[in-house]
Chain A
């Protein structure tokens, strides 16, 4: 028996501070917060006040240790997603699982890993399977704490003289997770059981060594075991570097000082967050809905119950209260569905966390103090909180990303009103197209692909300048598109071109950041299946203050091309699409063109010579486009950010063509044109109250497409508050619902 206890690590219980179990520590911490509103009930930040320099030095050492771990460990990985793009991050947690400090990178996971540690504590892992020095744990389960299975977490407990002093946590996005379709963000699963390998907070190593059975299970469970192995070693190495750093700090500062530091720094993070909100924003109520079309009605590869067209709804309502508290509600959200765009509350919290840390406290100590200063509500049964463990979350980001553009727009309004225009931003770009697939690569080996150019989409327009072009992703503020040569090593598709994509940015006084396009040709394989993933029916990056949304997606792939024949005959070949109305791809390539608005597709067979166009989205615009500096419009045209005819139509800028083919502004013509557009606005607009009467009539007649009528019905059924609001706004009977074919 004692051997068993020893094996489980339960012979030295409890491992928490001052003779407590981890569960007791967690419950004490939560009780103290509930009773006092302060982290662990701390009143004075004693350490910060008594030794402010020492306190800051300790934070800097810890933060330095975390960044060092990330920058060093990422070189162990062979996956370009980790090594080139930087899809990893590390954090240090208290014994109860509250984040103290973090590295750079995909910091959305700082809070999801916190959820996973708390899960292990609540499930009694201290007793079974035991938590001992040298142990290694892993998790990727969104129900426990994650966004989707592809983000794999590793945890290493850090001990000091028999007590658990904290946890090191690291996460990487893997290339393949063994889901129903290749690539790590499966679009197609209709249940959790197709989302891929499930690592449900497992103990997978002891004595700093991975269990062989775990390694084998994973190697046989994913399509790219070689990348998996090195990614796991990346995470473990980073966690061990953090452990070394923490042990070094404790030996220098003393364990009691370090414990006090951990408490103080989180409470300081909470107080700072509240103060920053009061400093930067305006109390009140803010509202920002976003939508996502899921067109699966004609998808024969789905089960019949999943073959439906659906419009997902995310109504984000933020209340900023007198004390600076931020409350975020998603009441009114659509129900979960038989698709992979659902999210768990852990994913939602992660998204709140990554965006608030980038907008409200970017210059301060970022940790779970910010989480403690916010409240959230995700309605049970909705896509934000399914309350059903069988639901798929494989492509959770699909709607999570657009939905949280609302938070940027909300904060943008507040920052504007305070005069902090340097912080205002319209919606960031949707991180799509997701170019994904798998099969046999150009070296004759099995491959799985998710191209991470999606890390560099356009940023939202700012209130003082245009958005950043092909800049970053909301989930990784330091994203990178990686060199084309790297992707050509990994993927059996060569680049014919990678260029700016005109008109991707949302127009405005300040335009959104631009996206770009990559034209790929399948090379040295006839056994490849690829899919497109992105939005097309709806705009996903709305503008602000009169700015327009960024462009919506489309698909243009070409099969059975004459490209190789053309090349052998020294004929021109396409290097870009450029303008879809006058497509260079269509002009220079014969073949079967799939040129349509089907932007979310299932894997489709490709052969050598076939073309795949992947274009990355832009960010939303800000302000009335008629107020944009005409010189900036001309510059955009000359640099291929804007097609010339839209300078006229959108911005009211009359262009003159110069002898060298470039454009300049016709000043007088522009003044006249802008007057004309303003006059056109007056002539064809109507009073909003007249519009409302017309729309009410349309609602009563049900005169719009069924997926939207169904969506409204389902939101009203799930949320009585939103139902009341909808019916009252349109002056409808209190029991009004839309008539829908199979429901009526």
Chain B
């Protein structure tokens, strides 16, 4: 059974492994305890005590509040509400829909035509980390990237109680 020590995994998650060290991890069969170790790693690094149920991306987690509510939460502490709702609805947004704002990121000619497509940047209202960038035409609905089925995951896939 493949398994890795804490240090190796920390180096992996922090991007500190060389290609030579990374390659065997990509090629090996996966370590079955990875998820639990990752939860522990994440929990140790946030400045709050709500239990992390699922890491969603580098800054966002689904957490369980002491009163039983499950919410999306940023590592800075900002809460976005019920985890089944799209967290973006509670975020701040800046839309790059002009040549001028697109050229803050891309050289002229190397960006989209803002009449055809815009960049929607979603920031955490607590720390203003850039959480997601949508590439969509004007007036496209906000994308709900991922709605996890936590009950199935915990109960059926991990065989754990989920209360």
Contact = CB atoms under 8 A, between A and B. Distances in A.
Interface of A: 278-280, 282-289, 291, 293, 311, 322, 363, 409-410, 413-414, 416-423, 463-465, 503-504, 507, 509-510, 536-539, 542-543, 545-549, 551-554, 579-581, 595, 597, 623-627, 643, 646, 649-650, 678-679, 681-682, 684-689, 691-692, 695, 698-699, 704-705, 707-708, 711-712, 725-726, 729-730
B111 to A, nearest CB: 6
B63 interface: no
Contacts of A416: 55-57
Given A289-B136, A422-B26, A464-B12, 5 more contacts: A418-B35, A538-B113, A548-B119, A691-B93, A705-B116
Contact of A711 (B38, B108, B137): B137
A418 B38 contact: yes
Contacts of B27: 363
A423 B26 contact: yes
Interface in B97-118: 104-113, 115-117
Contact of B105 (A509, A548, A729): A548
Given A542-B135, A685-B121, A420 B30 contact: yes
Contacts of B51: none
B149 interface: yes
A419 B117 contact: no
A687 B92 contact: yes
B128 to A, nearest CB: 5
A536 to B, nearest CB: 8
A528 B22 CA distance: 47
A595 B109 CA distance: 9
Contact of A551 (B95, B111, B122, B129): B111
A464 B135 contact: no
Contacts of A413: 56-57, 145-146
B38 A419 contact: yes
A554 B109 contact: yes
Contact of B137 (A311, A423, A579): A311
Given A311-B137, A419-B34, A681 B130 contact: yes
Contacts of B93: 685-688, 691
B46 interface: no
Contact of B152 (A283, A409, A510, A624): A283
B113 A597 contact: yes
Contact of A538 (B95, B123, B135): B135
Contacts of A678: 127-128
A322 B22 contact: no
A552 B157 contact: no
A448 to B, nearest CB: 29
Interface in B128-163: 128-149, 152-153, 156-157
Nearest to A538: B117
Contact of A552 (B12, B25, B112): B112
B82 interface: no
B105 A537 contact: no
Contacts of A707: 116
Find the residue from A545, A650, A679 having the highest chain B CB count within 10 A: A545
Contacts of A711: 137
A730 B144 CA distance: 14
Contacts of B152: 283, 322
A288 B143 contact: yes
A627 to B, nearest CB: 8
Contact of A649 (B34, B90, B104, B110): B104
B120 to A, nearest CB: 8
30 contacts: A279-B30, A280-B30, A283-B156, A285-B147, A287-B146, A293-B117, A322-B149, A322-B156, A413-B145, A422-B25, A464-B17, A537-B117, A539-B111, A542-B133, A545-B58, A546-B57, A546-B131, A548-B119, A549-B119, A551-B111, A580-B107, A581-B108, A581-B109, A643-B107, A678-B128, A679-B128, A681-B130, A687-B90, A705-B138, A708-B138
B139 A545 contact: no
B121 A580 contact: no
Nearest to A419: B38
10 tightest A-B CB contacts, nearest first: A419-B38, A685-B92, A546-B130, A551-B110, A554-B109, A284-B148, A729-B141, A624-B130, A685-B94, A283-B149
A292 to B, nearest CB: 10
A289 B116 contact: no
Contacts of B89: 688-689, 692
A649 B45 CA distance: 29
